[in-house]
Amino acid sequence: MDRRVSPGFDGIGGSSSIAVIGLGYVGLPLAVALGQKNRTIGFDINQQRISELQSGIDITREVDATELTAASQLQFSGLESDIADCRVYIATVPTPVTSHKQPDLSPLISASKMIGSLLKQGDLVIYESTVYPGATEEVCVPVLEAQSGLTFNVDFFVGYSPERINPGDRNHRLQNIKKVTSGSTPEVARLVDELYSSFVDAGTHLASSIRVAEAAKVIENTQRDVNIALVNELALIFNRLDIDTREVLQAAGSKWNFLPFEPGLVGGHCIGVDPYYLTHKADEIGYHPRVILSGREINDGMGQYVAEQVIKLMTMKRIHVVGAKILVMGFTFKENCPDIRNSRVIDIVDTLKQYNASVEVCDPWIDMDLASEQHNVAFVKYPPEGFYDAVILAVSHQQFIDAGIDSIKRVTKPLHVIYDVKGILPKADTDGRL
């Protein structure tokens, strides 16, 4: 095998080991899938995470104990020495944004520095983290070269295959979601494609370049973000017209080509973050994106809007907001998953607290200790009966749907407000909904 064009590991299923760097919502399912057929080491700097996984526990609930056991060739480690002999390194670390909505590439750079210190002649590095077009070759590759002393596309090679994990979704999982693949040379691209084709049942789409694959990933969620922003703006308009937005959407949805988007909070590590990577790159090349940033502005303001609507409804019922007891049901960024990253429910809580209301949050999916470490929020596991002046149903967890309106009303005072962000309750049972 000519190492000038192809990495020096001995094929899929060979004796070479694969290292998956970062074992979160993306990395763990990937490591488990690879570990069923290949010698795989799942690496994470969080030793508690490693210990839990070695005990068969996944707090993200993306992988169960049976799936972990089935990955017979997978082992977990937090030691760099354990991955030093690997020939393929796959980076699945987070790429968040800063408080100023700028890309935060520090986790990706740190991972690249570590991988670079371990690189050997002929190794392959694959990135899965969401980035702007060009970031892999402009940011990561120079770090790999500096740390290793090796030359890109001569001594080592790079691929990019963007993650498409949907946390909490048991129907769309790694194996049945088509995977976009790419590589730094045509030969490497085919090799990366072969690797993913070996365990992704839905197949792969081999992009013509790493930049195309990067761009494809970043627009997937940008498109959804813009569409949700449109519906959110419609909700703001229809509310002023005293028209029920969801009834309008239901009527419009009777047309075959009407897109089924709903109003709501837009958070999480993807839709609420990825557009800022694209707008950052656009600004860098001298183009100021208008539609994308306008959509982001609308979506980022929906939490405050919900809180102000609840305050308005309380005032109309002559319920004093100052000192009022308000329960927010749900804190994760979406239903039926424990992921609280970039959850916009916190915007509801913070706005209500600015009005000196007493706010508590209940969510059966979260680790309350972990959530308390990250947010100044009062969490309650069992809301007391007859206690709250207002209840905001913020996340449509199945437990809340199954409990129904009677369970919600049990925790409210006789005079109260119920606001349904997700539109899962009958309209007649609520005082307002988004």
Phi, psi for 425 (deg, rounded to 5)? -95, 155
Residues facing residue 206 across a β-bridge: 181
Tokens of 349: 């809580």
- The set of residues, in sequence order, having a beta carbon less than 8 Å from that of 309 and lying 6+ positions away, is 239, 419, 432, 434
- Residues linked to residue 159 through DSSP beta bridges, in sequence order: 126, 183
> Which amino acid is located at 265 in the chain?
L
Between CA 101 and CA 299 the distance in angstroms is 14
DSSP letter at 138 equals I
Buried b (16+ CB within 10 A) or exposed e, 125-142: bbbbbbbbbebbbebbbe
Catalytic site residue from 86, 140, 270, 337: 270
Q: Give SS3 for 140.
A: helix
- DSSP string for residues in 39-108: -EEEE-S-HHHHHHHHTT--TT-SS-HHHHHH-TTEEEE--GGGGTT-SEEEE-----B-TTS-B--HHH
- Distance between CA atoms of residues 412 and 419, nearest Å: 12
Choose among 12, 123, 26, 126: nearest CA to 73: 12
362 carries an active-site annotation: no
Q: CA 311 to CA 304: how far, in whole Å?
A: 11
Enumerate the β-bridge partners of residue 76: 42
Using DSSP, state whether 130 is helix, strand or coil.
coil
At 424, which amino acid appears? I
Could you list the beta-strand ranges (E) of 262-357: 325-329
**Helix 345-354 and helix 302-316: axis angle, to 10°?**
50
Catalytic annotation, residues: 270
